[in-house]
Amino acid sequence: MRSVSRALALLLLVGYAHTTAPTRAAAEVKLPPVLSSHMVLQRDAQVPIWGTAAPEEKVTVKFRGQERTATADKTGKWLVKLDALKAGGPDKLTVTGTNTVTLDDVLVGEVWVGSGQSNMQGSVAGYVKGDPGLAKLAAGAYPKVRLSKSGGKWQEANEQSVNGFSAILFAFGVGLQKELDVPVGLMVGAVGGTPSGYWLSEEAYRSDDACKAVVKKFAETYDLEKAKAAHAAALKKWEAAAEQAKKDGKNPPAKPSAPVAAGESAGKIGNLYAAHVRPMQPFAIRGVLWDQGESGTAINGVDQYTLMGALIHGWRKEWGQGDFPFVYVQKPSGGGCAFDPADPVTSQGEKFAPLPKAVPNDGAYRETHVRIMTYPNTFMATSSDLGPGVHPTNKSGYGARSARVALGGVYGKKVEIYGPVYKSHKADGEKVRVAFDHAGQGLAFKHGEKLQGFAVAGADGKFEWADATIEGNEVVLTSAKVTKPVAVRYAWANQHPWANLFNRDGLPALPFRTDGPTK
């Protein structure tokens, strides 16, 4: 009997050991994938280092002579912050608890996040054949440029690793590294064909006062029940058409989407933010490069300008690092002529064209995206002169222009970041004087025999093409058809290859109107 009891006790002891072993393994200090060897830490800022361990376990982080200690909370989470670091490296970072995690080849420099849809997701391999500048960049090795995708492990940028990485963000980062001469870390999270409504947290959207206001206003005139009835009728027609297509051996037409309530989306608000951006947080960063807009917001009644305000504010709040710089690429892509078509950056710009007979009136989409730059610490990378298309092939040019904006707007380098930007206008009898910010080295026109692209209107609101002359940092406008002009528009169209105002720094003037939101 005694031997049976001993045997039973031994079995129980072995069973206990097996059931507790995984628990002990799970209690080991662990870091998220985004904290890995080969990473770049942000210079001149507090740097969070975080992970998991056993509840109430003491964890110590050591880097460059700094030693920080934290105690894991009841759920096993812990976080420390390193004091501001100077650019350089490589160095070793260790995290010690019941075990030790060692990260090698850690650099300190500038860290940028790239996000958005296909033009940010598009890889080097996908664009290198049609972009000589990108091909040249991709052939090099960049030991001081590091890459991470959607909060995953870091790797050094070289001919192999860049192939699957964002083409525009890679070109942007190489441009920064060359000019700043410090390590550059690039983190990308982007998905093609996606709306901005999926790229901010639901909390950021629901709590935004501006979004609430536009939804309320939209709901006053939106009839959901009427929309549902219209959808039901459209669905019946589609079913008949789909059946006929099946009989004919053809592809069916697109199925009508079901309507949703004001302020709601057919998809999941915030799902892409959760999958691709949150895993990066709270990694210390300098700023964000954003390329999205073609797919709108996918939230019924909420426009891109308003939602981008909520997105920018939400990212900043949830990252917890203040109002970091937010650089975005102008939409639509291309649509305008270039100051110097021989410049590799602008070599794919539209060819200069004569004025259309009638003054266009389709600039609202372009205007919406220009307005985004009015948000605090937000900068637009002008793209009208870089090459057209839903997927422009000139990714090296787009990256270079974005880097130029960051260098001048964020890092304080003496480089102009915009073409002429409307400042004010003054009607004086038959003339209107328009003043500009960002005149740079001076206003200029290129191509053709004269400055063109301006239109004026009188009290009747009917716009006519204007004769335009440059006087210092102003443009003086007159029109034989408008004797008392009160309003001005420039390049206010979705496509405007006929507009030719630049500054001598080589950047195109931004479209504007004085009779609308940009006033």
b (16+ CB within 10 A) / e for 467-503: ebeeeebbbbbbbeebeebbbbbbbbbebbbbbbbbb
- Helix or strand holding residue 120 (H, E): helix 118-121
Mean pLDDT of 399-410: 98
Alpha-carbon distance 366 to 420, whole Å? 16
Per-residue CA distances from 441 to 119, 164, 419 (Å): 32, 40, 10
Give the range among 22-26, 55-59, 220-224, 474-478 with minimum mean pLDDT: 22-26
Residue 516: the pLDDT is: 79
Would the pLDDT of 183 be above 70?
A: yes
Would the pLDDT of 20 be above 70?
A: no
Q: Which segments of 86-141 are extended strands (E)?
A: 88-96, 100-116
| Residue 388: CA count within 13 A, CB half-sphere | 11
Q: What one-character-per-residue DSSP string does 408-477 give?
A: HHTS--S---SS-EEEEEEEETTEEEEEEE--TT-EEE-SSSS---EEEE-TT--EEE-EEEEETTEEEE
> ∠ CA(387), CA(389), CA(395), 5° rounding?
55
Closest CA to 340 of 134, 500, 136: 500
Mean pLDDT of 494-504: 97
Residue 512: CB partners within 8 Å, gap ≥ 6? Answer: 367, 370, 421, 422, 488, 489, 490, 491, 492, 518
Arithmetic mean of pLDDT over the chain: 93
Q: Residue with structure tokens 């006519």?
A: 464
Closest CA to 288 of 24, 81, 42: 42
Helix 209-219 to helix 304-319 angle (10° resolution) is 150
Most confident among 48-52, 136-140, 254-258 (mean pLDDT): 48-52
Domain chopping of the chain, boundaries: 421-513
Would the pLDDT of 464 be above 60?
A: yes
Q: What is the pLDDT of residues 146-170, one digit of tens each?
A: 999 999 999 999 989 999 999 999 9
What 3-state DSSP class applies to 57?
Answer: coil
pLDDT band for 2, please (50, 70, 90 cuts). Answer: very low
In the chain, what percentage of residues exceed pLDDT 90? 90
Give the range among 144-158, 240-254, 295-309 with minimum mean pLDDT: 240-254
Residue 517: the pLDDT is: 67
Residue 493: the pLDDT is: 96
Residue pair 333/387 in contact (Cβ under 8 Å)? The answer is yes
Q: What is the pLDDT of residues 356-397, one digit of tens each?
A: 999 999 999 999 999 999 999 999 999 999 999 899 999 999
Q: Which two tokens stand for residue 104?
A: 């090698």
Residue 291: the pLDDT is: 98
Helix 364-371 to helix 304-319 angle (10° resolution) is 20
Would the pLDDT of 9 be above 50?
A: no
Mean pLDDT of 410-416: 97
In the chain, what percentage of residues exceed pLDDT 70? 94
Alpha-carbon distance 512 to 367, whole Å? 7
Residue pair 116/150 in contact (Cβ under 8 Å)? The answer is no
Q: What's the per-residue H, E or C state across 318-359?
A: HHCCCCCCEEEECCCCCCCECCCCCCCCCCCCECCCCCCCCC
Alpha-carbon distance 295 to 279, whole Å? 24
Mean pLDDT of 282-302: 97
Taking the complete model, does pTM exceed 0.75, yes or no?
yes
Would the pLDDT of 16 be above 80?
A: no
